């Protein structure tokens, strides 16, 4: 829902448009994008299991999401996943990623959602390596 609101109103993340690489869209929003958010939140929560009950878990989780987005953005733009109307990634994107994901991590902490999956952390690390490699390769 957040992505649907964001892309159709520009009130969240800034003014961006999804390209065709992510497949089928509903109201200008690829259906897969919600799954991407779910996978990232789930994987980071699994990786952060030792600190999930601390007050700072939502802050660390949100900062990790922003770092991942920073790594993903150039690849996403280059592969027509989405693009920014101004041609520049706005600071608002990173601020809103922090706020939205921080809220989601806070809900996981408050609701004491049990996420015990060692493979999820490995999946997140694999995604980081994937986008890091694509960033490096795109500059060669």
Query: What pLDDT digit, counting tens, does each position of 33-78 carry?
Result: 989 999 999 999 999 988 888 999 999 999 999 999 999 999 999 8
66: nearest Cα among 36, 97, 103, 106: 97
CB count within 10 Å of CB 49 equals 16
What is the share, in percent, of the chain residues with pLDDT greater than 90? 71
Whether the per-residue pLDDT at 139 is higher than 80: the answer is no
| Domain positions in the chain | 2-138
Sign of the Cα torsion 64, 70, 73, 75 reads negative
Between the CA of residue 130 and those of 42, 70, 75, 94, what are the distances in Å? 18, 13, 10, 20
Whether the per-residue pLDDT at 87 is higher than 90: the answer is no
- Is the pTM value of this prediction over 0.85? yes
């Amino acid at each position: 829902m957040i992505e649907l609101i964001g892309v159709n109103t520009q009130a969240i993340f800034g003014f961006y448009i999804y390209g065709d690489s992510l497949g089928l869209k509903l109201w200008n929003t690829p259906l897969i994008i919600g799954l991407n958010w779910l996978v990232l939140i789930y994987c980071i929560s699994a990786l952060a299991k030792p600190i999930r009950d601390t007050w700072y878990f939502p802050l660390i989780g949100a900062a990790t999401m922003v770092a991942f987005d920073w790594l993903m953005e150039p690849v996403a733009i280059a592969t027509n996943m989405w693009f920014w109307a101004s041609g520049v990634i706005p600071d608002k994107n990173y601020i809103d990623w922090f706020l939205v994901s921080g809220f989601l991590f806070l809900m996981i902490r408050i609701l004491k959602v049990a996420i015990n999956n060692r493979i999820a952390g490995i999946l997140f690390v694999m995604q980081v390596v994937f986008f890091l490699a694509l960033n490096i390769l795109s500059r060669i």
